[in-house]
Amino acid sequence: MIFLFYTAAIVALIATIAVIISTNVVHALVYLIISLLSVAVIFFALGAPFAAMLEAIVYAGAIMVLFLFVMMMLNLGQTTQDEEKEWMQPRLWIGPVTLVALLLVQMTNVLLTQDVDLRPIEVGVLEISVLLFGPWLLAVELASMLLLAGLVAAYHLAKK
């Protein structure tokens, strides 16, 4: 489990960094899929198989396919990639990266004061379903309304 966690974590980090520094949209998308799949492996290692399956099916499957369809519709060619290379100047990265790195150092300092081990005891579909259709029923209904609103808004916005 521990080997699985650290390997998947390293893959996820490398793939995520490749997403934000890549200039080709489709390459970035494939790296993002790799990152999401390795996060799914991390969920397995943490004893959350249901979340891992949802991550693989909904995130890496549905949402990324949506992205891919839109990329095919837009048909961004070589000019966009050249523009992208022009925008990727190191001096633009210095400010944001410094500030965000400071935030990360602070957050890491706070987190490292804890000393608890994770015991990957599997939390299965049953426990989650009991919660989803018990105390969280209203949230599930609201999520369905949110998805409906997203559907209607996407249809309206993408219409000519």
Q: What part of residues 29-88 is at the interface with other proteins (CB under 8 A)?
A: 29, 32, 35-36, 39, 42-43, 45-48, 50-51, 54-55, 58-59, 62-63, 66-67, 70-71, 73-74, 76, 80, 83-84, 87
**Contacts (CB under 8 A) with other proteins, residues 101-120:** 101, 103-104, 107-108, 111-112, 114-120
Smallest distance, other proteins to C-beta of residue 89, A: 10
Q: Which of 11, 30, 34, 132 binds other proteins (CB under 8 A)?
A: 132
Smallest distance, other proteins to C-beta of residue 78, A: 14
In three-state form (DSSP H/G/I as H, E/B as E, the rest C), the secondary structure along 122-155 is CCCHHHHHHHHCCCCHHHHHHHHHHHHHHHHHHH
Smallest distance, other proteins to C-beta of residue 131, A: 5
Containing 80, the helix (H) or strand (E) segment is helix 78-87
Report phi then psi at 9, rounded to 5. -65, -40
Smallest distance, other proteins to C-beta of residue 104, A: 5
Smallest distance, other proteins to C-beta of residue 99, A: 8
Q: Are 54 and 27 in contact (CB under 8 A)?
A: no
Q: Are 49 and 122 in contact (CB under 8 A)?
A: yes
> What span, in angstroms and rounded, lies between the C-alpha atoms of 131 and 113?
31
Is residue 138 involved in binding other proteins (CB under 8 A)? no
Number of residues that bind other proteins (CB under 8 A): 83
CA proximity to 123, closest of 39, 56, 51: 51
